[in-house]
Structure 1
């Protein structure tokens, strides 16, 4: 039995970022987050985040944890050693977030700052020849961890509702998300995403399947595909008229 032919994923005006450029973008994102921390009060960290069931403190504890976990991948890779992203896997990750979320604002601020400093130091030690070093994370290369940390940093900074939202995401990150999150596109549709603020178009899914076109600013397209609320409404159409946005699949 043959599989359905699939349409090529087509993209226009997608920048090819080097690992060094991504590292610089991460440093800029970390500085933005550091600048948002001083105003956090105890009441503010107990307030809800954009993630159901999580307070701001939960999100900040997760940022702290993933900053340290990805920095550790870098440190061990430079030694030629492999280590899991989190000791104890996802259960230990979840326990760390819950434990970290009960701290007061001062403790959270200091913990996040320390984790960001640790991250900066770890990634600064990586040289141009090191990006292809193997890591345990997804059995990939060190550059894949760098991209993962960029995703986590920017997305969860937005989730914390500290004033920095998806509408502020760098366009380079948005292009990356629209590529990395391609597996979220429904398999029974031919999904077309078109940016209204730059020359960008990407197609996903089976050729010949019912076509759905979603249009909007690039940051809003990326936010939607990442499971976050777009800053502005997206325009979704099927042949014959407007339509609701399709349901997305799980994260890859």
Structure 2
């Protein structure tokens, strides 16, 4: 994963939301119970949280991802989701600008520095940034869908989500436009479709084209 991929995802998101009006901001996202305002607020809050992870890591320090943990994270999303559209976008743009600037300060020898986000490293943190920006852009239910996810991103997301395959299941994905992907052991579940459709299904999103085969019940996101 390269920083250029994160910047491309960030640009796609900000361009998609340029000129957001009130009705669109209040409209439903694809995430149950969340408006687009909720998704935008979450991305902005995540961006600030990850910026802090980067800044502290570069100083040789660790800091919690969200002060107050998951309850405070969820409360902040709900509190910010209903702001005027212009305020939502200004906040998002400021947060993403700061995050990209933070990633620009990471040197070649810094990627192994630890962070508390998933108890991982800066290298994993930039992957998480790529996932958050890319997946949630399609969650806005605007012009971008999982069918627009780049093939390298689909490959990355499938591998990240391997823990979703339940015990006793040998999951085989046969993309019509890519190599076969397998995970787990046990009863065979063979699915076919485009790479993007299969990845969308595995990510818990609605595929834009058919996925054929017997689908197992997946575990939550890791």
One of 77, 102, 105 as aligned partner of 1:97: 77
One of 181, 191, 203 as aligned partner of 1:226: 203
Partner of 1:85: 65
- Considering Cα pairs closer than 8 Å and 6+ residues apart, tell me whether 1 or 2 has the greater RCO: 1
Partner of 2:144: 164
CA distance in 1, matches of 2:219, 2:126: 24
Work out whether 1:154 is the aligned partner of 2:131.
no
CA distance in 2, matches of 1:163, 1:39: 14
Could you tell me the TM-score, scaled by structure 1's length?
Answer: 0.86
How far off is 1:250 after superposition? Answer: 1.1
Partner of 1:54: 34
One of 45, 52, 55 as aligned partner of 2:25: 45
Work out whether 1:202 is the aligned partner of 2:181.
yes
One of 162, 173, 197 as aligned partner of 2:153: 173
Moved >3 Å (runs of 4+) = none
Partner of 2:5: 25
CA distance in 2, matches of 1:77, 1:162: 35
CA distance in 2, matches of 1:39, 1:201: 41
Partner of 1:250: 220
Extract unaligned runs of 5+ from structure 1.
Answer: 1-16, 237-242
Equivalent residue pairs, number: 222
CA distance in 2, matches of 1:138, 1:193: 27
Partner of 1:76: 56
Work out whether 1:66 is the aligned partner of 2:79.
no
Could you tell me the TM-score, scaled by structure 2's length?
Answer: 0.97
Structure whose CA Rg is larger: 1
